[in-house]
Amino acid sequence: MKQSRIRMDVTTSAALDARSRLLRGLLDASREGLLAADARDGRILLANATACALLATDEDSLLGEPVDSLPLWPADWSLRVPRETLREDAGKGIDFVTVHNGNTLEIRTRWLAVGHNELLLIALNDPSERLRAEAALHESEARFRGILEQLPAISVQGYDEERRVTFWHDANERIYGYRREEAIGRRIEDLIPARHRGVERA
């Protein structure tokens, strides 16, 4: 009986270790810098790899340090003030933009209760990566639209989740009789007769 209990405890411990490694891997894979601090005394409990990279330090140097000591906060920052504010509305948080080592960082803070513990969660983002991704997306969309505009014999429409037209080119005008400025923003059902639509809504 004792041997069985020992084996079960070892198995349980191994499973917990594997789960901890998985969770840690997920945290470190995030493109968002994540810090967790004890909301009572402000000591940092966790910092993922992205946060360390953005702050140009390592986790060992951050753990146990007061979150107030991070070179991120506005001049009037105090842990007590955001804690009281965040507790009133945990979903709202306090957001601001700062500059660290010459780089702009977007900071979001949230208060979180986990059992009997109170945590201050801090998310750090480098907006330059997001802006580059948005620019690349806009460029890709522009190229795609350019290709579609070069297909005068094929009718192509674009519409959003509410089925309001977002793209309408010359072939549509010839086939359905609506100019681009008349079509954009209208529901696709109002422009194209049912017999011409490939998919019917229930």
**What percent of the chain stands above pLDDT 70?**
75
Instruction: Name the one residue in this structure whose structure tokens are 């505009």.
Output: 149
pLDDT for the residue numbered 69: 83
Q: Are 125 and 131 in contact (CB under 8 A)?
A: no
- pLDDT class for 200, splitting at 50, 70, 90? very low
Residues 118 and 148 grouped into a single domain:
no
CB atoms within 10 A of CB 101: 9
- pLDDT class for 174, splitting at 50, 70, 90? confident
Q: What are phi and psi of 34, to 5 degrees?
A: -130, 130
Q: Per residue in 14-71, pLDDT tens?
A: 776 778 888 888 888 888 899 999 988 889 999 999 999 988 899 999 999 998 888 8
Residue 89 has pLDDT above 60, yes or no: no
Kindly state whether residue 31 falls inside one of the protein's structural domains.
Answer: yes
| 149: enclosing H helix or E strand | helix 127-149
Global pTM reads: 0.53
Residues 107 and 145 grouped into a single domain:
no
Kindly state whether residue 202 falls inside one of the protein's structural domains.
Answer: no
Q: In 20-69, where do the E strands start and end?
A: 33-38, 44-47
Domain C-terminal end among 93, 126, 159: 126
Kindly state whether residue 11 falls inside one of the protein's structural domains.
Answer: no
Residue 63 domain boundaries: 27-126
pLDDT for the residue numbered 199: 47
> Residue 80 is part of a domain; what is its CATH number?
3.30.450.20
Report the C-alpha gap between 194 and 42 in whole angstroms: 62
Average pLDDT value for residue range 109-125: 84
Three-state DSSP string of 19-58: HHHHHHHHHHHCCCEEEEEECCCCEEEEECHHHHHHHCCC
Q: What are phi and psi of 45, to 5 degrees?
A: -105, -25
